[in-house]
Amino acid sequence: MKKRYLALDMFSGGGGLTEGFIRQGFDFAAHIEMNKDAAETLKTRLCYHDLKQNKDQDIYADYYKGTISREEFFSRAKETGAGTESVINSEINTECEKGMIEMIKKNLFDRYDTDTVDVVIGGPPCQAYSLVGRGRDHNGMKYDPRNYLYRHYISFLRAFEPELFVFENVPGIMSAKDKTIFPDILEQCKAAGYHIDPEPRILNANIFGVLQNRNRIVIIGWKEERNHSYPEFRQSSLKGQVWDLLIDLPEQQAVRDNRDIFLPYTGDAYEYARNAKIRNGFGGVRHHAARFHNERDREIYRMAIKQWNRGEGTRLKYNELPEHLQGHKNKEVFLDRYKVVNGNGHSHAVVAHLAKDGHYFIHPDINQARSLTVREAARLQSFPDDYYFEGPRSAKYTQIGNAVPPLMAEGIAGKIRQMLG
């Protein structure tokens, strides 16, 4: 039997990194997440994994399909020994950091008879580092306190002394706060006794078989005295296109009062969807209700789809719209407001802004003329169909857009397991 290693997940979000590390056999000391909806999603998913291990998946299937309430789900899950105690729904700040560390260490002693972990994973919220986020703030996010959340991450490195750590974030961290953040991360990690390569490693999610062009900085550090090197990530053999993830789902229209109900698949699974562990639901999916769009937006979507299909990937520009479809007079900036997802290839990066509107993620089928559903966005991020996201629809989109794709996380976790030996 393979050894099970212990991980600590910080800034966990909806659990993309967690999912990948669980697939590679890691146990978790704790998952720390301040957002209530994301923390609830983590609890649901951890119960799923416990129930699966105990061969009690029917309980989860009942909740997923909506035949039992959340309260009944957790009550029945608890009877089987499934637990959610490792999820800490709290902000990490100077006031609570010490107490949180002590609580996690106590739980580690009680469960595993140790006060250390093998690996710390996670990445602070990226809004303060992303170019888009800085573009929306008139100070360029220079005074945003989230710039310094990485210091709490390093405090946990000092406290738990892992052999390795994985720190994931957007490439914009390189230029954040006048290019002072990344050098400080290097310096603080070295002071804590860890080596990381001075040259940042930017990994694209498509290397891991994700059908998405998504670049992220992935810092992997190890104790100074260890003879490790940054792992080599080779291109995945998984092949597919976005249509492989859309074609077997029921068609949806952007009408009012679409409810999040269980919907059976309408076609067979494509090879990519099976091999990527995405098409694994209970004969259908949740979270596939289309959001409402007014007729003006739908007309624009049809124009965008028609131009995309006719022009071999040409984007519709805002200043090309007929006057009656233009909502404002600014025709000089932000012209690329409507993006059709490339059904015949890889998607552009799924981001949390999808929670606000769907203009950047238009379904390629002109007959549906709508933005992606939560389930379609989750599939593009490589979340399996049996993954249940908690909270309102906007919270689900945010969790998905902020997540590390599980396929990417699984690939990284595999290398970390090899390094731990």
Which pair of structure tokens corresponds to residue 155? Answer: 């405090």
Burial of 186 (0-12, 13-18, 19+ CB in 10 A): middle
Phi and psi at 30, nearest 5°, equal -165, 155
207/231 Cα distance (integer angstroms)? 13
Phi and psi at 29, nearest 5°, equal -75, -40
Phi and psi at 6, nearest 5°, equal -100, 135
CB 34 within 8 A of CB 90: yes
Which pair of structure tokens corresponds to residue 208? Answer: 């891991």
56/48 Cα distance (integer angstroms)? 9
Please enumerate in sequence order all residues whose Cβ is within 8 A of that of 344, keeping only pairs 6 or more positions apart, or say none: 241, 242, 243
Residue-wise DSSP of 48-81: HHHHHHTT-HHHHHHHHHTSS-HHHHHHHHHHTT
Q: SS3 for 122?
A: strand
Other C-beta atoms lying within 10 Å of the C-beta of residue 25:
14
Q: Round the CA-based radius of gyration of the chain to a whole number and report it.
A: 22
One-letter-per-residue 3-state SS of 306-361:
HHHHHCCCCCCCHHHCCHHHCCCCCCCCCCCCCCECCCCCCEECCCHHHHCCCCCC
- Between CA 25 and CA 74, with CA 69 as vertex, the angle to 5 degrees is 40
160/145 Cα distance (integer angstroms)? 24
The identity of residue 344, as a single letter, is N
Angle between helices 16-23 and 36-53 (to 10 degrees): 20
Selecting among 47, 96, 126, 189, the annotated active-site residue is: 126
Torsion of CA 398, 399, 400, 406, to 10 degrees: 160
126 tagged catalytic: yes
Other C-beta atoms lying within 10 Å of the C-beta of residue 241:
17
Active site residues: 126
